[in-house]
């Protein structure tokens, strides 16, 4: 976005509102107002139409989760960055991500002035990224990629594993995707999601409860089984390996220079090496281009790649990058992807 992002600050603490306003104004953003609780926040959002809302979760009258639920019904809601003192991996933080929050920024445990101002750089970065993410939603539908449609999938139609990559909007997308897949799914899924460290275990537990699949956080050496979805632990790369005739997940920190850990490229490239044409890649909503090189590795070994279309993406960044590179065999909105995956597996 060319203009300064317009931000609404929502928190029941006057001190926190003051610090957040000063931090964001000092970073060149236009703080257009503040709200003390969820009810006032919804009124201010309607009146001021901010680009981004910084949202506390624990507030009187109407909490942050209820605000996110209300915004989910709006046609063009602002992007939301949650600013919370809930601990890492908290149920409320994970639920906020599932409801569409763009990012989570944790307040320090002690709200002394010097400690709270330490949030400044991280908060300003996340708010700016959220504003950019909201900007990508405005890409007109008449701008699909000008590519010759890719050839149909090649190689052996049998699939050994589905590998999924996602970032911004990923928890929400995974909730819908996994919730639509059957318990008797013939293959395992391994997921690389860009999410703050400490949240994958709680997210996996919530997805396990809402899905017919078995969903868990990855552990090093974990054996993959049909009907099981494994989410890479935030802060670590996940790779596929073959051991004793079966597929397992290996965790590690290398390559350390990767922009994201877990990296979608790292996961997809390992699937290409391990399973070849019998891997199936899926790239969902997310900012940036992580997954392009991994999709290229899958494409070159004859595997199939699906991408989420702009119509359903929170941010049409990662899927768009794969599609524009000519590495997607099929592009579909999220609600159609489960059926498309099952047709590919069973047809």
Q: Which residue range is the domain that position 34 belongs to?
A: 6-136
Do 108 and 174 lie in a common domain? no
Please tell me the pTM assigned to this model. Answer: 0.86
Same domain, 87 and 225: no
152 is a domain residue: no
Contacting residues for 209 by C-beta, under 8 A, at least 6 apart = none
The answer to whether residue 118 sits within a structural domain is: yes
Q: What is the pLDDT along the chain (347 residues), one digit of tens a residue?
A: 457 999 999 999 998 899 899 999 999 999 999 999 999 999 999 999 999 999 999 998 899 999 999 998 888 899 999 998 766 557 888 999 999 999 898 887 655 556 667 778 889 999 998 998 876 543 333 333 433 344 444 444 589 999 999 999 999 999 999 999 999 999 999 999 999 888 999 999 999 999 999 999 999 999 999 999 999 999 999 999 999 889 999 999 999 888 899 999 999 999 999 999 999 999 999 999 999 999 999 999 999 999 999 999 988 999 999 999 999 999 999 999 999 999 999 87
Same domain, 241 and 131: no
Assigned domain for 146 exists: no
Q: Give the count of domains, the chain.
A: 2
Q: The domain that contains 268 carries what CATH number?
A: 3.40.50.180
What amino acid positions are annotated as catalytic residues? Answer: 167, 194, 290
What's the 3-state SS for the chain? CCCCCEEEEECCCHHHHHHHHHHHHHCCCEEEEEECCHHHHHHHHHHHCCCEEEECCCCCCCCHHHHHHHHCCCCCCCEEEEEECCCCCCHHHHHHHHCCCCEEEECCCCCCHHHHHCCHHHHHHHHHHHHHHHHHCCCCCCCCCCCCCCCCCCCCCCCCEEEEEECCCHHHHHHHHHHCCCCCCCCCEEEEECCCCCCHHHHHHHHHHHCCCEEEECCCCEECCCCEEEECCCCCEEEEEEECCEEEEEEECCCCCCCCCCCHHHHHHHHHHHHHHHEEEEECCECCCCCHHHHHHHHHCCCEEEEECCCCCCCECHHHHHHHCCCCCEEECHHHHHHHHHHHHHC
Q: Are residues 127 and 28 in the same domain?
A: yes
């Amino acid at each position: 976005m060319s203009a300064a992002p317009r931000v609404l600050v929502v928190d029941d603490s006057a001190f926190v509102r003051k610090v957040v306003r000063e931090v964001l104004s000092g970073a060149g953003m236009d703080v257009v107002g503040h709200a003390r609780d969820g009810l006032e926040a919804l009124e201010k959002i309607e009146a001021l139409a901010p680009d981004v809302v910084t949202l506390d979760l624990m507030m009187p009258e109407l909490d942050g989760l209820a605000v996110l639920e209300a915004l989910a019904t709006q046609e063009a809601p602002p992007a939301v960055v949650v600013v919370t003192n809930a601990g890492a991996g908290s149920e409320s933080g994970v639920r906020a991500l599932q409801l569409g929050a763009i990012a989570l920024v944790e307040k320090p445990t002690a709200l002394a002035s010097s400690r709270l101002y330490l949030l400044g750089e991280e908060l300003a970065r996340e708010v700016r990224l959220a504003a950019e993410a909201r900007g990508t939603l405005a890409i007109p539908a008449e701008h699909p990629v000008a590519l010759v449609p890719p050839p149909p999938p090649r190689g052996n139609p049998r699939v050994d594993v589905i590998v999924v990559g996602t970032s911004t909007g990923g928890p929400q997308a995974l909730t819908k995707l996994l919730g639509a897949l059957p318990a008797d799914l013939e293959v395992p899924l391994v997921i690389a999601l860009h999410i703050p460290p400490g949240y994958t275990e709680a997210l996996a537990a919530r997805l396990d409860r809402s899905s017919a699949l078995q969903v868990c956080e990855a552990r090093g050496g974990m054996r993959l089984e049909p009907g099981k979805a494994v989410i890479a632990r935030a802060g670590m790369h996940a790779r596929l390996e073959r051991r004793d005739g079966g597929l397992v997940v290996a965790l590690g920190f290398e390559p350390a220079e990767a922009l994201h850990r877990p990296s979608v490229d790292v996961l997809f490239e390992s699937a290409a090496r391990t399973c070849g044409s019998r891997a199936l890649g899926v790239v969902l909503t997310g900012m940036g281009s992580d997954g392009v090189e991994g999709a290229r590795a899958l494409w070159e070994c004859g595997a199939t790649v699906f991408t989420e279309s702009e119509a359903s993406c929170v941010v049409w960044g990662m899927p768009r990058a794969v599609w524009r590179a000519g590495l997607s065999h099929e592009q579909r909105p999220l609600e159609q992807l489960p059926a498309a995956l099952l047709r590919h597996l069973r047809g």
